[in-house]
Amino acid sequence: MASRLLTNIGELLTNDPTLGDETPVGRLHDAALVLDDERVVWVGAASAAPDADERYDVGGLAVLPGFVDSHTHLIFAGERSDEFEARMAGERYDGGGIARTVAATRAASDEQLRDESGARLAALRAGGVTTLEVKSGYALDVEGESRLVALAREVTSEVTFLGAHVVPQDYVADRDAYVALVAGEMMMRCASAKWADVFCDVGAFDVDEAREVLVAARARGLARRLHANQIADIGAIALAVELDCASVDHCTHVSDVDVERLAASSTVATLLPGAEFCTRSPYPSGRRLLDAGVTVALATDCNPGTSYVTSMSFVIALAVREMGLSVDEAVWAATRGGAGALRRADVGHLSVGARGDLVILNAPRAAHLAYRPGSSLVREVWRCESDDA
Ligand code: NIG
Ligand code: FE
């Protein structure tokens, strides 16, 4: 394919700290980029840009890396708006509603799941998501989980097996048998996933159960991530660090010891402010994590229970307003941070050699993402087609 010059960029965030203002977002003004069919091949001042086969003048608008949404439960049937309304009236989230989505998802055909999930995927993409992770976890039986993994693989290479979402109704009297099933036959049938995850929290799985699943995942060559510390602190973060999870997700309740543990580890803390918003829970401080040296990512957690959110811009605005992140930190967390949470070096930045996945905003500065919450500011999304991630 032809090379493309994207020029007259008013503000370009590259997330390459060796470029531009040499901050973590690597900001350039009056900038240009050249892409070949899938990679960034040149980046710098517009006045110094080389020729290319095609020239695209963005007229002073802002350009940033495509968003990396490292935590979604994209594939499910039905909705639970009644639970949202109850929470807004004071009820607490305890994970109990997951069983309702399991029933709806089990009953749905593949086509229905493709249709319902496809609409959410289109919304995420239109909002600038160029890489996304998708979890199973709403079937909780061998056939159903392997079906969800297969459907997720139609959408992305970043697929996570979440058979350990909650203990399904038919196993409540023998949860050990369910954990053994997840760690055994079910995982074997879902081994085309890249990741394994466990909801390790009150009302879901305890640390020993999560360990059994994650150790089995490691033995099968699946990489690991963990839902941790959303409802309470039961010691999930120490387990995640011990088992080299790429990411611990939620981190709503985190002790000082765990902050230090994360800072000394290669585990990313993924914050999901849509979940605090939709469950009316206190927001954790992203500032505290960043100040301690923890790598922070932001993701939508798109799911029907705690965060029916398909907008990374909304997540960024919440993180800035409620979690103490600067706009630059939030944009970085939603791009390079998400890439870190997926252990991907090729996305989340616009250095030479990176995938040419980017967003052109309908605004002169990326700060508008938080400054104008609720507006749709994504004008164009450029995403390489060479890989489905
Ligand atoms: O990330 N916490 C566990 N899983 C989802 C919610 C699932 C649901 O309530 O349907 C989450 O918040
Ligand atoms: Fe989640």
Look at residue 388 and tell me if it is in a domain: no
For ligand 1, atom 1, name the residue with the nearest CA.
Answer: 301
Look at residue 206 and tell me if it is in a domain: yes
Q: Span 66-79, mean pLDDT?
A: 98
Identify the CATH number of the domain in which residue 375 sits: 2.30.40.10
356 C-alpha vs ligand 1 centroid, how far in Å? 32
23 C-alpha vs ligand 2 centroid, how far in Å? 31
pLDDT band at 388 (very low <50, low <70, confident <90, very high): low
Q: Which ligand is nearest to the CA of 133?
A: 2
Domain holding 26, by residue range, is 4-66+348-382
Q: Which ligand is nearest to the CA of 104?
A: 1
Rounded (5°) CA angle 115-116-120: 110
Pocket flag, ligand 1, residue 160 (CB < 6 Å) = no
Would the pLDDT of 389 be above 80? no
Look at residue 389 and tell me if it is in a domain: no
Q: Are residues 272 and 314 in the same domain?
A: yes
Q: Are residues 58 and 138 in the same domain?
A: no
Q: Are residues 21 and 60 in the same domain?
A: yes
Q: Span 380-385, mean pLDDT?
A: 92
Q: Are residues 245 and 329 in the same domain?
A: yes
pLDDT band at 294 (very low <50, low <70, confident <90, very high): very high
Pocket flag, ligand 1, residue 229 (CB < 6 Å) = no
Would you say 183 and 142 are in contact if contact means Cβ atoms under 8 Å apart? no
Pocket flag, ligand 1, residue 305 (CB < 6 Å) = yes
pLDDT, tens only, 160-196: 999 999 999 999 999 999 999 999 999 999 999 999 9
Look at residue 48 and tell me if it is in a domain: yes
Look at residue 308 and tell me if it is in a domain: yes
Identify the CATH number of the domain in which residue 119 sits: 3.20.20.140
Q: Are residues 293 and 149 in the same domain?
A: yes
Phi, psi of 309 (to 5 degrees): -120, 130
Q: pLDDT exceeding 70 applies to what percent of the chain?
A: 99
Q: Is 364 helix (H, G, I), strand (E, B) or coil?
A: coil
387 C-alpha vs ligand 2 centroid, how far in Å? 24
Q: Are residues 222 and 355 in the same domain?
A: no
Would the pLDDT of 66 be above 80? yes
Q: Which residue type is seen at 363?
A: A
Pocket flag, ligand 1, residue 97 (CB < 6 Å) = yes
Would the pLDDT of 385 be above 80? no
303 C-alpha vs ligand 1 centroid, how far in Å? 7
Q: Alpha helices, DSSP H only, in 182-285?
A: 187-189, 207-220, 236-242, 256-263, 273-279
Q: Are residues 129 and 169 in the same domain?
A: yes
Pocket flag, ligand 1, residue 279 (CB < 6 Å) = no
pLDDT, tens only, 19-55: 999 999 999 999 999 999 889 999 999 999 999 999 9
What does the alpha-carbon distance between residue 222 and residue 191 come to, in Å, rounded to a whole number? 7
What does the alpha-carbon distance between residue 144 and residue 182 come to, in Å, rounded to a whole number? 12
Pocket flag, ligand 1, residue 158 (CB < 6 Å) = no
Q: Which of 31, 30, 41 is nearest to 2 (CA)?
A: 41
Q: Are residues 124 and 250 in the same domain?
A: yes
Pocket flag, ligand 1, residue 199 (CB < 6 Å) = yes
pLDDT, tens only, 230-281: 999 999 999 999 999 999 999 999 999 999 999 999 999 999 999 999 999 9
pTM confidence score: 0.98
Q: Are residues 333 and 355 in the same domain?
A: no
Look at residue 387 and tell me if it is in a domain: no
Would you say 301 and 273 are in contact if contact means Cβ atoms under 8 Å apart? no
CB-based contacts of 111, cutoff 8 Å, min separation 6: none
From the number of C-beta atoms within 10 Å of its C-beta (0-12, 13-18, 19+), residue 112 rates as: middle
Look at residue 256 and tell me if it is in a domain: yes
Which helix (H) or strand (E) is 249 found in, with range?
A: strand 247-250
Q: Are residues 306 and 371 in the same domain?
A: no
Pocket flag, ligand 1, residue 311 (CB < 6 Å) = no
Q: Which ligand is nearest to the CA of 160?
A: 2
Look at residue 330 and tell me if it is in a domain: yes
What does the alpha-carbon distance between residue 137 and residue 247 come to, in Å, rounded to a whole number? 18
What does the alpha-carbon distance between residue 219 and residue 212 come to, in Å, rounded to a whole number? 11
Q: Span 325-349, mean pLDDT?
A: 98
Under DSSP, the state recorded for 173 is G
Q: Are residues 177 and 245 in the same domain?
A: yes
CB count within 10 Å of CB 26 equals 22
pLDDT, tens only, 128-164: 999 999 999 999 999 999 999 999 999 999 999 999 9
Q: pLDDT exceeding 90 applies to what percent of the chain?
A: 97
Q: Is 178 helix (H, G, I), strand (E, B) or coil?
A: helix
CB-based contacts of 388, cutoff 8 Å, min separation 6: 155, 156, 157
Pocket flag, ligand 1, residue 275 (CB < 6 Å) = yes
Q: Span 358-364, mean pLDDT?
A: 98
Structurally, the chain folds into a number of domains equal to: 2
Q: Are residues 107 and 151 in the same domain?
A: yes
